């Protein structure tokens, strides 16, 4: 599909792309570049690529597909290194979790002969680094591309086919719209998780130990999300500020309504909301984006899908082998 794929950054996402590319034969040559020697050595030991270098410019030489897989905050410095070395006609893409900021940073630095097509796979886990990746990460998950209106249709089709071959469903979207959608589906949930786990961290030592001890309820799932990479999430909130604040405003209004319902004992309001939210979860499972298995599919010898779960059997519902992952 491609002669040379250059991956700049080889953590969870970069290494998953490398593994899927090799498994499916999507590029003749995979060049890997990262910042630290120890990370590069880990990628080499795992056999993720054909060539390895700490020099990002060297990695992108003669590459017809370049994908930035670093935290978004590093894009400016990475682009300064690679821009002069990008091959004419190459596709430059990325996997960053925000898109308007990415377009604003990259576009002025991209040579006119290079096709800029930012991307975002809606797939991930709370783990980081080259060893955390796996080739099935993108299977049955969405990948959003945000090309500008003037981008070559053939280049978009080639990148769409690349993600499709890794198992993704691909959709093109405006970058600002992407950021608004992801603010409510991903960024605010992470902010809530960081906040609630932070509140526990600040509790008195006695109470804190009991929260940890009895955490096998809702709190545990928040801690999984709140264990996500601090640098990556710092960059997301710094670069998607407007959309996050807009959605946070709506969230706070709804929270105030909920707070009032609890205070005045408005049972019908509480039950009405909880019934609507249950339906939202069911529709996500029906769409194949989550498992209907109890406890998010965590392995339990005797766990069964209750008869009251949704129509369709587990495989039809798109249960993932690596269930429980967290999208960014």
Which residues of the chain form contacts with ligand NAP (CB under 6 A)?
A: 9-14, 34-36, 39, 69-72, 74, 78, 95-97, 120-121, 124, 128-129, 229, 232, 326-328
Residue 84 vs 265, nearer CB to ligand NAP? 84
The answer to whether the CB of 98 falls within 8 A of the CB of 240 is yes
Rounded CA separation 158/147 (Å): 13
For ligand NAP, the closer CB: 140 or 286? 140
Q: What angle do CA 278, 275, 314 make, to 5 degrees?
A: 25
Residue nearest to ligand NAP (CB): 11
Structure tokens at 242: 């407007």
Q: What is the DSSP code string of 192-246?
A: HHHHHHHHHHTS-HHHHHHHHHT-TTHHHHHHHHHTS-HHHHHHHHHHSHHHHHH
Q: To 5 degrees, how large is the angle CA 11–CA 6–CA 2?
A: 125
Torsion sign over Cα 296, 300, 305, 306:
negative
Q: Least distance from C-beta 260 to ligand NAP, angstroms?
A: 35
Helices 188-201 and 205-213, packing angle to 10 deg? 130
Nearest distance in Å: CB 206, ligand NAP: 34
Smaller CB distance to ligand NAP: residue 71 or 147? 71
Nearer to ligand NAP, 228 or 291 (CB): 228
Give the nearer residue to ligand NAP in terms of CB position, either 192 or 211: 192
For ligand NAP, give the closer residue by CB, 45 or 199: 45
Least Å distance, CB 325 to ligand NAP, is 7
The CA distances from residue 328 to 74, 98, 147, 172, 191, in Å, are 17, 9, 20, 18, 12
Smallest gap, in angstroms, from Cβ of residue 259 to ligand NAP?
A: 31
Compute CA distances 102 → 77, 99, 114, 212, 275, whole Å.
13, 5, 16, 38, 38
Nearer to ligand NAP, 131 or 286 (CB): 131
* Cβ proximity of 181 and 237 under 8 Å: no
Are the C-beta atoms of 33 and 74 separated by less than 8 Å? no
What are φ and ψ of residue 229, in 5° steps?
-60, 120
Q: How far is the CB of 87 from ligand NAP (least distance, A)?
A: 21
Rounded to the nearest whole angstrom, what is the least distance from the CB of residue 15 to ligand NAP in the complex? 7
Least Cβ distance, residue 311 to ligand NAP (angstroms): 30
SS3 148: coil
**Residue 6 C-beta: closest distance to ligand NAP, Å:** 13
Looking at beta carbons only, is 121 or 318 nearer to ligand NAP? 121
Which CB sits closer to ligand NAP, 100 or 120?
Answer: 120
Q: Which two tokens stand for residue 175?
A: 């970058």
- Backbone dihedral angles phi then psi of residue 93, each to the nearest 5 degrees: -130, 180
Which of 69, 65, 37 shows the shortest CA–CA distance to 53? 37
* Shortest distance, position 142 Cβ to ligand NAP, whole Å: 11
């Amino acid at each position: 599909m491609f002669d040379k794929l250059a991956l700049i950054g080889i953590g969870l996402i970069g290494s998953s792309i490398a593994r899927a590319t090799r498994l499916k034969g999507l590029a003749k040559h995979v060049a890997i570049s990262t910042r630290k020697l120890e990370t590069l050595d880990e990628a080499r030991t795992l056999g993720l690529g054909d060539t390895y270098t700490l020099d990002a410019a060297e990695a992108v030489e003669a590459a017809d597909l370049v994908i930035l897989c670093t935290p978004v905050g590093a894009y400016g410095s990475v682009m300064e290194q690679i821009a002069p070395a990008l091959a004419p006609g190459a596709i430059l893409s990325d996997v960053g979790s925000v898109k308007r900021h990415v377009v604003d940073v990259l576009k002025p630095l991209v040579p006119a002969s290079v096709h800029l097509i930012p991307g975002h796979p809606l797939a991930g886990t709370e783990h980081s680094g080259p060893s955390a990746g796996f080739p099935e990460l993108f299977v049955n998950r969405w990948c959003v591309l945000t090309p500008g209106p003037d981008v070559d249709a053939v280049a978009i089709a080639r990148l769409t086919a690349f993600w499709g071959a890794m198992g993704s469903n691909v959709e093109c979207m405006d970058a600002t719209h992407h950021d608004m959608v992801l603010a409510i589906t991903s960024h605010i949930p992470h902010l809530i998780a960081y906040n609630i786990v932070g509140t526990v961290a600040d509790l008195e030592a006695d109470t804190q130990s009991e929260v940890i001890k009895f955490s096998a309820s809702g709190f545990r799932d928040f801690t999984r999300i709140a264990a996500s990479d601090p640098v990556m999430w710092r960059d997301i909130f710094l670069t998607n500020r407007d959309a996050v604040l807009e959605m946070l405003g709506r969230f706070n209004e709804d929270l105030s309504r909920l707070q009032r319902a609890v205070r005045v004992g408005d049972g019908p309001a509480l039950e009405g909301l909880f019934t609507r939210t249950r339906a939202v979860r069911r529709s996500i499972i029906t769409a194949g984006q989550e498992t209907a298995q109890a406890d998010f599919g965590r392995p339990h010898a005797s766990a069964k899908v209750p008869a009251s779960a949704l129509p369709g059997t587990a495989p039809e519902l798109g249960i993932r082998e690596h269930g429980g992952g967290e999208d960014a």
